[in-house]
Structure 1
Amino acid sequence: MSRNKRLSILTAAEVEDLYGVPSFNESYQRFYFMLNDKELAEISRIRQRKYRCVAIALLGYFKCKPVLLNPRYKSMQDDLVFIARFHYRDLTFRRFSLKPDQKSRIYARVLSIVGVSNWNDKRHQPQLVEHLCTCAESWVEPRAVFDAAIEYLARQKIAIPAYSTLQKIVSQVIGQHQKRLHDQIDAACSQGLSTMLLTLVSGEGQFTFQQLRQSARNFTGTELQKEIAVYHHIQPWMTDVTTVLESLSLSQKNQQHYAERVDYYGAKLKRQSLANQRLYLLCYLQSRHQQGLERIAEGFIHHLRQVKQRAHQMAQERVYRDWQKAARNVSKAADILHLFVDDSIDPDTSFQAVQQRAFQFLNVSDLNSVCRYLSNQKQSAEEAFWQHLDTESTLRAGLLRSLFCCLRFDGTDKTRRLAGALAQARLDLVAGNRLGDVSIDQRLLPKATRPLLSKPDGSIDKSKYEWFLYLQIPNRLNGQLTLPEVIRYRALEDDLVKPEIWKNQKGSLVEGTQQPNISEDPKRLIPRMADELTLRLHEVSHYLERSDTRDVILRPKDGKHHWRLPTASKKHLARISHDRINKNG
């Protein structure tokens, strides 16, 4: 495989960082080139001291990163000088180069010391490919597969092979994974769905690929209409799309990865193979459908809260104006009341005649204002609230209704009746663009609100009832009402593994997490981990006691002690003696 055709996984800087000779300061040199008894005994078996220095350097490099390097003398020179001074105080040597067989023998000794196997294609590659194919079922993104390979090699104590080798392996794994998906799509995808996907990419249909990728940038009506248009185009196909994706058993990460390919390629998607086009578009349609529904729900809630805020504000202003008018007219109301105790009025005078005399002091509107003020100001505010909603009928019958018809609601035990009313209202509005009599459930209306929604004949005003249903939604999306198709507002149970699946597939699900400790009994796992930690702490304390500890730093912070190597901010660090190390180790 030519270099320019290889799969790009790491950047040039990352490749250099992984496969280049590490650069150590003196503290890291002291840390990585310090030898324990086993290492010292093995290194001492090398006859020439300059090759011992090379072996110590390669051992330190391998401790830093488990890669077999091919360093030049110049890149190792500073480290070799430090090693010679630290381990062999009288050693000086000139520039030299290692022959391939010499480097191989030294690395064989290094691998023997650290207990790591050198990479072998025939012996290690089949097992690695099999493991990565399993990992690819969770996340097939090249960097994720590469990281999984590094983790596998570390667990199996195998040296990391050349970058080109890992590129080929990752490419092979991704190719096998996609080949399986392509075959399953061929078997599960209907002819109609395949034609729709092909038409979408080619741009020959009325609804273009560019329109599909356009999304609402804000909550204005014009922008939300884009989401509504996308919803109405792809909604009829979502059952087929979901069926195909379920047959693929894609993880959420893989579905997200393939969906992102559509935005990555854009108009150049048509250059991809037909199989890749279908795979990417199926995942993208599912993602775009969820994204569109979430924006529709957010836009619906946003406009409801705004119109509710406007209605309350206008109601308060109207109450204030009524209060001012009533305050000015309250003295005239006294004149009206005086009519009922005026002895000059003939007892046989009709009520209508008295009423006409009262209207000479205050007209009907002003008199009603005074009555509301004297009786119940809150009722006046509620009435003004619903009167303002009548002026927002264009918003209700236009944007809000279009958004509402895209959403499906579920309820809990306490909101089951409300969810049923919302579902029936949605069916009526989709079918005939108006509420039917069966949609009106007067049991939902509070006693104080019912008169405000009633007509003079006692029936419920359907326009106000539609407003009533809409206004119940925003404050109940805290779990009382759910949107099963919108991730943000769906029930918690929808994010969990179904009990039947967990019961039947628990073993495979746990194995797929790559976390074997999950399946262990905590009563045995925790004590074992505690024992391992205690043993490790004793080993570290013993090592610090026996070694040169001048570069070991204890950093007090919030009453807790942490071991660490020196950093640039030395003013916050405190050197400690052997006694202090033993005390806190």
Structure 2
Amino acid sequence: MRASNKQLTILSEAEKAALYESPDFDEEQRLSFLNLTPEEQALVRNRANLSAQVHCALQIGYFKAMHMFFPIDWDEVQEDTDFIMQEYFPEHMFFHPTTITKHQYYAQCHTIAAHFGYQLWSKEFEPLLREKAEKIIYRDVSPQFIVIELLGFMREKKIMRPGYTTLQAIVSNALNAERKRLGTIIHESLTEADKSALQKLLFEKETETLSGLADLKQDAKDFKPRMISAERDKLISIKPLYLLAKSLLSKLKLSQQNLQYYASLVDYYTVYDLRKKLKSDQTYLYLVCYIHQRYLKLDDNLMDAFCFQLKECEMEIKEKAQDAYSEYAISKQSELAVMKKLVKLYVKQELSDEIRFGEVRREAFAIMPEEELRNKVLHDDDKELKLIDFYWKMVDKHFHRFKLQLRPLMMAIDFSSTAADSPWLKTITWLKELFGANKTIKKYPITACPEKTRPKRLQKFLFDTNAKGEQKFHGDRYEFWIYRQMKKRLKAGELYLADSVHHRSLQQEISSANEKGALVEPLDIPALRDPIKKLLDDRIAELHTEWLRFNSDFMQGKLKHLNYDEKTNTIHLKNPGRRGMKSIKIVFMISCHSAILRMYFDLLMNGADIHQFLRTYSLVTAKCMLMKTA
């Protein structure tokens, strides 16, 4: 927000003109707003003379359009005046307007306002608007938003808006009060050590030319190791400040909109402005909000990088395993053909039973060299390998490269779980302690990790048995397995990041909504007045109406871009850009949409397990989904 003539600019020049300058009607608007009802015409006819009557008619039209009264300059409203004369005073061939008195002007204003049920602005409404402005600020501190909400409030209460300077003063006072509130909390909450830590962000590092804040602002361009390593270092370095910000924000009680707004001001102001020009409390507020938002983004970036790197690792291992298994299958097929030739020696009629075995061996070695045959016999354990065997062999061979990126990310990210006693969270914590102490997994017995993280079907791949018969971890394989489970359970919602935007738990979202609900309860927001069940019923009814409208339009042939195939019960969307048609399979189950919303409401209100809802939701939506085929 910028100051103009030492006053807060709450509206742009165009917005100010739209609200406070008399309207300039076009022909259509004249037909709409200057079309007077019989009651309005009677009000006009009650004026003392023709000038007062025309003036009153114009004020009625302008009030209907703007809910304001304006001083009328007859020269500037000639077209509107001509329209009034033609419509309501055709008997007067000529009209020579005269200026009406102040008494007549204000009398007309009172009469017109009373006719439409409005109250003229007076100072007695200022406390009401100040109180409303203070509540609005809790939602959004931007002046434009406050003004829009105040105008809506006055329109609802049928109070004429005040002059621009009065409105400007009300908004300014409300913002100043909010600044004082925040400044007091910051002053009382931050210690000298906290202030010093925040101020360090505004100064250059010893070994670099950028300030800590400028360095923190730089975004990673991709998921390359160097970029992600820098992101990880940033997250670790600002974690103490984030914990400080988290604690302070709980006292400031900012809405998400205001939190983002204050954080954005760090990008708006230069480091010099933050350090020298702004008040220290303002600087601390902007920095705290920015650090909070930046930490959440960094946490999301690291989690996304972890999932990306793991996916790359999985794809490479899967591809390598498939190639190795294909080679193995081909070699087995070749060996089988050779073995058939060797077996034929036993049924070859040309060889008599009395022949020396040495002759048979020579023929066998002609088929396969002795050394190669000997190796096959001595080293082949007769166990046929499967694709999964090659998969874990490829983990041994290739995972160590990806581990260099995945392990530091796992160490930096703070995971949480929706389950109170999650074995996966325990394992992650154990691995962090292990790697933090520079220890390896393979030195520990398998009982060191929770049993539920040791699936029986994979035990032969994840664990080795030593000479003493003790089972030990196969280090890389178990670590890889845990990383895969982390990704899987994060997607399922069992694991989550508490300090995140995109990877929070659903329970966090619900709790946050409840907290925000308590904050906005006194704000008199129309959308929050109705019970949730009514809102859901309204949305379901809207959806049902849309489906019926779609069905009606389709049956009447209005939707020319769609064709229905009776054989496959599918609707085809014509694609003029291709020769064929792009098929889109749509299952029209309107009841499913209703069921999903009602099921969510019932489960939420009855305190049911949210994971059960998600499982049920998946089953329902599986039957009511949009399937695209190329």
Scaled to the shorter chain, the TM-score interval is 0.7 to 0.9
The 3-state SS of whatever aligns with 1:392 is helix
Mapped to 1, the partners of 2:496 and 2:306 lie a distance apart of: 14
Paired position in structure 2 for 1:450: 459
Residues 345 and 175 of structure 1: is their aligned pair in 2 closer, same or farther, counting only changes over 3 Å?
A: farther
8 Å CA contact retained: 1:227, 1:292? yes
Paired position in structure 1 for 2:522: 511
Mapped to 2, the partners of 1:259 and 1:80 lie a distance apart of: 52
Mapped to 2, the partners of 1:288 and 1:521 lie a distance apart of: 33
Residues 184 and 517 of structure 1: is their aligned pair in 2 closer, same or farther, counting only changes over 3 Å?
A: closer
Mapped to 2, the partners of 1:279 and 1:189 lie a distance apart of: 11
Quick one: which amino acid aligns to residue 518 of structure 1?
Answer: R
Mapped to 1, the partners of 2:465 and 2:503 lie a distance apart of: 39
Cα deviation for residue 261 of structure 1 reads: 1.0
Residues 341 and 277 of structure 1: is their aligned pair in 2 closer, same or farther, counting only changes over 3 Å?
A: farther
TM-score with structure 1 length normalisation? 0.78
Cα deviation for residue 288 of structure 1 reads: 0.8
Of the structure 1 ranges 133-142 and 43-52, higher mean CA displacement relative to structure 2 is found in 43-52
Cα deviation for residue 396 of structure 1 reads: 3.5
Quick one: which amino acid aligns to residue 454 of structure 1?
Answer: F
Residues 512 and 191 of structure 1: is their aligned pair in 2 closer, same or farther, counting only changes over 3 Å?
A: same
Mapped to 1, the partners of 2:421 and 2:347 lie a distance apart of: 54
Could you say which structure has the greater relative contact order, defined with CA pairs below 8 angstroms and 6 or more residues apart? Answer: 1
8 Å CA contact retained: 2:309, 2:402? no
Cα deviation for residue 115 of structure 1 reads: 2.2
Cα deviation for residue 30 of structure 1 reads: 2.1
Paired position in structure 2 for 1:572: none
Residues 325 and 394 of structure 1: is their aligned pair in 2 closer, same or farther, counting only changes over 3 Å?
A: same
Q: How many residues align?
A: 512
Residues 284 and 341 of structure 1: is their aligned pair in 2 closer, same or farther, counting only changes over 3 Å?
A: farther
Aligned positions of 1:153-172 closer than 5 A: 153-172=154-173
Of the structure 1 ranges 288-297 and 155-164, higher mean CA displacement relative to structure 2 is found in 155-164
User: Any idea what the Cα deviations from partners look like across 1:477-496, whole Å, max 9, x if unmatched?
Assistant: 22232222223222211112
Paired position in structure 2 for 1:135: 136
Corresponding position: 1:69 with 2:70: yes
Paired position in structure 2 for 1:361: 373
Paired position in structure 1 for 2:609: none
Cα deviation for residue 246 of structure 1 reads: 0.9
Quick one: which amino acid aligns to residue 444 of structure 1?
Answer: T
TM-score with structure 2 length normalisation? 0.72
Aligned positions of 1:1-20 closer than 5 A: 3-20=4-21
Quick one: which amino acid aligns to residue 227 of structure 2?
Answer: E
8 Å CA contact retained: 1:482, 1:491? yes
User: Any idea what the Cα deviations from partners look like across 1:143-171, whole Å, max 9, x if unmatched?
Assistant: 22111211221122211122232222212
8 Å CA contact retained: 1:415, 1:480? no
Aligned positions of 1:172-211 closer than 5 A: 172-203=173-204, 208-211=212-215
Mapped to 2, the partners of 1:294 and 1:365 lie a distance apart of: 55
Cα deviation for residue 340 of structure 1 reads: 10
Mapped to 1, the partners of 2:328 and 2:459 lie a distance apart of: 23
8 Å CA contact retained: 1:396, 1:467? no
Cα deviation for residue 75 of structure 1 reads: 3.8
Aligned positions of 1:280-319 closer than 5 A: 280-319=286-325
Two-structure CA RMSD over aligned residues (Å): 3.7
Which stretches in structure 1 are left out of the alignment for 5+ residues? 347-355, 527-555, 561-585
8 Å CA contact retained: 1:311, 1:385? yes
Q: Using the aligned pairs only, state the percent identity.
A: 21
Residues 413 and 497 of structure 1: is their aligned pair in 2 closer, same or farther, counting only changes over 3 Å?
A: closer
Corresponding position: 1:483 with 2:497: yes
User: Any idea what the Cα deviations from partners look like across 1:438-488, whole Å, max 9, x if unmatched?
Assistant: 754454233332222333624221122111111112232222322222232
Which stretches in structure 2 are left out of the alignment for 5+ residues? 359-367, 538-548, 554-630
The 3-state SS of whatever aligns with 1:455 is strand
Corresponding position: 1:459 with 2:464: no
Mapped to 2, the partners of 1:94 and 1:365 lie a distance apart of: 122
8 Å CA contact retained: 1:335, 1:361? no
Paired position in structure 1 for 2:108: 106
Aligned positions of 1:325-340 closer than 5 A: 325-334=331-340
Mapped to 2, the partners of 1:154 and 1:118 lie a distance apart of: 12
Quick one: which amino acid aligns to residue 422 of structure 2?
Answer: R
Paired position in structure 2 for 1:573: none
Paired position in structure 2 for 1:493: 507
Cα deviation for residue 64 of structure 1 reads: 1.6
8 Å CA contact retained: 1:68, 1:160? no
Paired position in structure 2 for 1:21: 22
Paired position in structure 2 for 1:229: 233
The 3-state SS of whatever aligns with 1:449 is helix
User: Any idea what the Cα deviations from partners look like across 1:411-433, whole Å, max 9, x if unmatched?
Assistant: 34599222221222233233436
User: Any idea what the Cα deviations from partners look like across 1:489-515, whole Å, max 9, x if unmatched?
Assistant: 22211112379x87xx98765223534
Aligned positions of 1:383-532 closer than 5 A: 383-413=389-419, 416-432=422-438, 434-435=440-441, 437=444, 440-441=449-450, 443-455=452-464, 457=466, 458-476=471-489, 477-497=491-511, 509-512=520-523, 514-515=525-526, 518=529
Cα deviation for residue 188 of structure 1 reads: 0.9
Paired position in structure 2 for 1:56: 57
Mapped to 1, the partners of 2:550 and 2:41 lie a distance apart of: 36
Mapped to 1, the partners of 2:180 and 2:195 lie a distance apart of: 18
Quick one: which amino acid aligns to residue 306 of structure 2?
Answer: F
Mapped to 2, the partners of 1:410 and 1:41 lie a distance apart of: 72
Quick one: which amino acid aligns to residue 50 of structure 2?
Answer: R
Paired position in structure 2 for 1:583: none
Residues 441 and 517 of structure 1: is their aligned pair in 2 closer, same or farther, counting only changes over 3 Å?
A: closer
Cα deviation for residue 319 of structure 1 reads: 1.7
Residues 485 and 316 of structure 1: is their aligned pair in 2 closer, same or farther, counting only changes over 3 Å?
A: same
8 Å CA contact retained: 2:51, 2:98? no
User: Any idea what the Cα deviations from partners look like across 1:324-357, whole Å, max 9, x if unmatched?
Assistant: 23333322234666899999669xxxxxxxxx98
Mapped to 1, the partners of 2:280 and 2:128 lie a distance apart of: 32
8 Å CA contact retained: 1:256, 1:287? yes
User: Any idea what the Cα deviations from partners look like across 1:330-388, whole Å, max 9, x if unmatched?
Assistant: 22234666899999669xxxxxxxxx9875337459976x967xx35xx2x22322233
Residues 190 and 117 of structure 1: is their aligned pair in 2 closer, same or farther, counting only changes over 3 Å?
A: same
Of the structure 1 ranges 233-242 and 173-182, higher mean CA displacement relative to structure 2 is found in 233-242
Paired position in structure 2 for 1:82: 83
Mapped to 1, the partners of 2:73 and 2:377 lie a distance apart of: 99
Mapped to 1, the partners of 2:110 and 2:254 lie a distance apart of: 43
The 3-state SS of whatever aligns with 1:472 is helix
The 3-state SS of whatever aligns with 1:57 is helix
Mapped to 2, the partners of 1:134 and 1:127 lie a distance apart of: 11
